[in-house]
Structure 1
Amino acid sequence: MATEPSTKAKAWVIFDRIVARAAPDNVHSNPWIRSADGQLRFEPDFDTLARLLGVPLHLKAGTQSGVPALALDVWLSYELRRAGFNLDQVWPRPVHPRILPAPIANLLKALPAGTRKAVADRIERDGAITGATSSSGIILGKNYLKQVDVVISDWVTGPELLISTKRMDSSYGKNAPNRIEESYGDAKNLRLRHPLAALGFVFGLRSDILQKEAATAEWLFDLLGKLGREDDAYHATCLVLMEYGNDEAIPETGEEPPVTALPEPGREVDDENAPAPALDAIVDQDIAQLPKVKILSEQIPEELAPARFLAAMVTRVLGATPVNMHKEARARRSSPALR
């Protein structure tokens, strides 16, 4: 008897389809824009973000499923591919398995066709193979292992970009202090071992906090800004302010569970099911029925703006590597559209 796919497996198939439609045949638009006054800026694809944020609402996925915050991870990795980093460089990947190190991807391409198919099928089936593939990025900080949500890394360079994401859709006064406290500790742990990596933090927040708990919102915005200004914290921080209807609210299933015990290096735990098989037409129908989500860009403080954050992350990665690395990302940044 077939088992019912998990909420995360259902979400992945919709996430993947949204990203595939936004970048047909893995061809991404260039996010860099140069304005008439000569200013270079990163222009995020907020339409794709809004669709991705609608997926957990459509599935009624509670916070403990991990799906609400996963929508942010998928979008950030998509934006980094728009910036010119390739499919296997940025994790999570837009296909299963979510983490496939570049050397293994290159080996697959070099294998004879028959062997390549057999190995690819094994990777697709197993998802997490010890020491090879994984469903989550686990990085050693100064003192402990940390699951990082969006990663650029390679064995040649080590971690080049590490972004942690959090999301809050309710119970702001109760949950916000815990999220901020965790973020400070995580920043220091990662920064001290990987000082050259671009280290960022993205916080997704439902906009009704502005009406329900205005004082908490002011406090939270202030602390998020400070997280991105201190020498031993993040290089940049970001706020995604989401507006959606009360009828679509995510059910309260408790706080997103903290990662309190991670496996030892080399011992992977696969917490992701492969995307649930579905016909494109059915998935497209799901996408058409997604709840409407609006990104309130104008109410996000400038220092926490997604455009500023993404520009800072990409610029830092390029600034910390030689000019013969990340050539496509450099070419895109140096050839912006004029607007």
Structure 2
Amino acid sequence: MAARPSSKAEAWEIFDHIVEAAAPGGEHSNPWVPGSDGQPFFHPDYDTLALLLGVPLHLKVGTQTGVPALALDVWLSYELRRAGFGTDQVWPRPANPRVLPAPVSAFVKSLPTAIRAKAQSHLTSNTSIPGVTSSSASILGKNYLKQVDVIITDWVTGPELLISTKRMDSSYGKNAPNRIEESYGDAKNLRLRHPIAALGFLFGLRSDILEKEPKTAEWLFDLLAKLGREDDAYHSTCLVLMDYSSDQALPVAVEEEPSEGILEPGPQPITDPAEDEIAHLADSTVENIVKTLPKVSILENQTPDDLSPARFLTSLVTRVLAATPVNMHEEARRRRASILPRK
């Protein structure tokens, strides 16, 4: 009898089902709408975000598993594909392996039919092939390697977009200062080596902070906004206010999750072999799970305008396109330009 998948493996199956349903066959809706000034404005798919955020609540897993924050990473990569960036350009990918360099994917697709299937099978059945694929990506900053959650990169261009995500569902006063301090250091480390790359920071926060610790919320919102305005920090910052029932609250860790520390150079060891496991959930099981996921709402109206996901994605995608020639990211440019009035 096959073993039950780990929480992260199970989460990935549900995440993938949600994303596939939102973009059947890889056909994504166009996120761009005319803004108040007539310029393109990114309209996020909050319904898909709410479903993804319900997955860790369904699994009842704590922050130490990485699943709660992973829901935000999956959503951001999905939104970037909606913007028109390719499946292999944006990490994490919507299928295993989650990190796969575009040239490797192009090479496999160019192989003769007789061996292409075997090569693809080898890639998809291994979470991490040293130097080729991985379940997560690390980028060298000015002084040290940093794991970055959502990335657009290629060997021709180098990193074009780097987004770090954090999530906090409890113990706000205790943990918020540490999260902000880490974010300042990460921003400077990455910005100094990759000044042209669009650098973003997204913070997922449970909305009960507004009632439980309003002063902490005010302080946190202020610092998040400042992170996106300073010359040596992020180009844009974002707040996702998540509202869900106390009955569905995530398990509270006894101790704060440890920092990943400074990564060593070279391929990282596999610490989570979740996606290499043989056991999988049946399609019907995943479908039923999605139908009964705990309800999560995104409080757009209580999110400061300068921290809104819409503004955040508008800013970062526009920056990526502005920093590259017009013959690159052509689908992303076409989608953005399609809502502009014709001259």
TM-score (norm 1): 0.96
**Whole-angstrom distance in 2 between the partners of 1:154 and 1:187:** 21
Q: Quick one: which amino acid aligns to residue 260 of structure 1?
A: G
Contact 1:263 1:269 in 2 (8 A): no
**Which of 313, 316, 320 is matched with 1:317 structurally?**
320
Determine the structure 2 residue equivalent to 1:122. Answer: 122
Determine the structure 2 residue equivalent to 1:70. Answer: 70
Determine the structure 2 residue equivalent to 1:164. Answer: 164
How far the C-alpha of 1:261 sits from its partner, in A, is 4.5
**Whole-angstrom distance in 2 between the partners of 1:315 and 1:39:** 11
Cα distance change of structure 1 residues 205 and 40 upon mapping to structure 2, 3 Å threshold: same
Percent pairwise identity: 67
**Whole-angstrom distance in 1 between the partners of 2:267 and 2:132:** 9
Q: Quick one: which amino acid aligns to residue 311 of structure 2?
A: R
Cα distance change of structure 1 residues 201 and 37 upon mapping to structure 2, 3 Å threshold: closer
Q: Secondary structure at the match of 1:142?
A: coil
Gaps of 5+ in 2: none
Cα distance change of structure 1 residues 36 and 161 upon mapping to structure 2, 3 Å threshold: closer
**Whole-angstrom distance in 1 between the partners of 2:190 and 2:289:** 38
Determine the structure 2 residue equivalent to 1:298. Answer: 301
**Whole-angstrom distance in 2 between the partners of 1:257 and 1:272:** 20
Matches within 5 A, 1:7-86: 7-35=7-35, 38-86=38-86
How far the C-alpha of 1:262 sits from its partner, in A, is 2.2
Q: Quick one: which amino acid aligns to residue 308 of structure 2?
A: A
How far the C-alpha of 1:263 sits from its partner, in A, is 3.8
Question: Deviation per CA, 1:158-208, whole angstroms, max 9, x where unpaired?
Answer: 000000000000000000000000000000000000000000000000000
How far the C-alpha of 1:289 sits from its partner, in A, is 1.0
Determine the structure 2 residue equivalent to 1:256. Answer: 257
Q: Secondary structure at the match of 2:119?
A: helix
**Whole-angstrom distance in 1 between the partners of 2:100 and 2:129:** 10
Matches within 5 A, 1:85-234: 85-234=85-234
Count of equivalent residues = 338
Q: Secondary structure at the match of 1:297?
A: coil
Contact 2:39 2:340 in 1 (8 A): no
Poorly superposed stretches of 4+, deviation over 4 Å: none
Determine the structure 2 residue equivalent to 1:286. Answer: 289
Q: Secondary structure at the match of 1:240?
A: strand
How far the C-alpha of 1:39 sits from its partner, in A, is 4.0
How far the C-alpha of 1:280 sits from its partner, in A, is 1.8
**Whole-angstrom distance in 1 between the partners of 2:62 and 2:68:** 7
| Greater mean deviation of Cα atoms: 123-132 or 192-201 | 123-132
**Whole-angstrom distance in 2 between the partners of 1:59 and 1:337:** 43
Cα distance change of structure 1 residues 279 and 336 upon mapping to structure 2, 3 Å threshold: farther
**Whole-angstrom distance in 2 between the partners of 1:13 and 1:27:** 19
How far the C-alpha of 1:303 sits from its partner, in A, is 0.4
Contact 2:198 2:235 in 1 (8 A): yes
Q: Secondary structure at the match of 1:166?
A: strand
Question: Deviation per CA, 1:296-315, whole angstroms, max 9, x where unpaired?
Answer: 00000000000000001100
How far the C-alpha of 1:258 sits from its partner, in A, is 1.3
Question: Deviation per CA, 1:271-302, whole angstroms, max 9, x where unpaired?
Answer: 25217522222101000110000000000000
Q: Quick one: which amino acid aligns to residue 129 of structure 2?
A: I
**Whole-angstrom distance in 1 between the partners of 2:49 and 2:273:** 22
How far the C-alpha of 1:257 sits from its partner, in A, is 2.9
Contact 2:10 2:281 in 1 (8 A): no
Matches within 5 A, 1:239-278: 239-253=239-253, 254-269=255-270, 271-274=272-275, 277-278=280-281
Report the aligned-residue RMSD.
1.5
**Whole-angstrom distance in 2 between the partners of 1:267 and 1:309:** 30
Contact 1:32 1:42 in 2 (8 A): yes
Gaps of 5+ in 1: none
Q: Quick one: which amino acid aligns to residue 145 of structure 1?
A: L
**Whole-angstrom distance in 2 between the partners of 1:167 and 1:148:** 14
**Whole-angstrom distance in 1 between the partners of 2:89 and 2:321:** 14
TM-score (norm 2): 0.95
How far the C-alpha of 1:337 sits from its partner, in A, is 8.2
**Whole-angstrom distance in 1 between the partners of 2:295 and 2:195:** 39
Contact 2:144 2:263 in 1 (8 A): no
